[in-house]
Amino acid sequence: MGNYVFNTDALIDAVRADSTLEGSNHDMGGDIIPAFVRQQNAAVYDLNRNVVPGATDRDRFYWRDVGTIESFFEAHQDLIAALPVFNLYNQDWPIYTQQVNSPPAKLVRDSHGNTGTMVDSIVSLGSVISGARVERSVLGPWSIIESGAVVTDSVLFDRARVGPGAVVSRTILDKNVYVEAGARIGIDAERDRERGFTVTDTGITVVGKGERVSA
């Protein structure tokens, strides 16, 4: 796999020429790129020869294809390992990305005095964990996890909300999903499918943007 950079005119010409070839699969990696190589009109940058300042043997040469739900999920799990294979904290090679103008994340007690806890997880700006438990998960900006809720092995997009006493496990929640108080998602695959949610063969449940998960 790789990233391709083309001169626009050259790419258009190549695609048009390939469209007339009998026996071509009209595939970028299988036909278009090899044609550029035969014409000696291609160059390559080998990631394995790249030297990143501050990298260790564990996080060197990281590359993932996230074309499936499982690979997308596993890439997020890569981020939260104690010794990550993709290191966001290498100060010698900082990663610049979108900065959301939001307050810091916070973990607070709920009205009953229960403490919000987070273990082996990443929590984005604006998020609040109030008397709830989050483990091995990635929470996007402005995620709200309310009193007594449990979120494990999951990925939450922007402004996802998990109500009091709810349970979220091995689940991807898209933006603005609301898991109602006491609801359970990612626990019973058949129940999740009955409710119209996608469940992969490996048991990852996906809830689409703006959905409401009822108890």
Q: Which residues does 91 contact at the CB level (< 8 Å), separation at least 6?
A: 54
Structure tokens at 76: 């997020």
pLDDT above 70: residue 1:
no
d(CA 150, CA 170): 12
pLDDT at 136: 96
Q: List C-alpha distances in Å: 84 to 49, 87, 129, 160.
A: 21, 5, 24, 25
Structure tokens at 138: 């990635």
What is the number of other CB atoms lying within 10 angstroms of the CB of residue 27? 11
pLDDT above 70: residue 88:
yes
146-156 average pLDDT score: 97
pLDDT above 70: residue 144:
yes
pLDDT above 70: residue 38:
yes
pLDDT at 130: 97
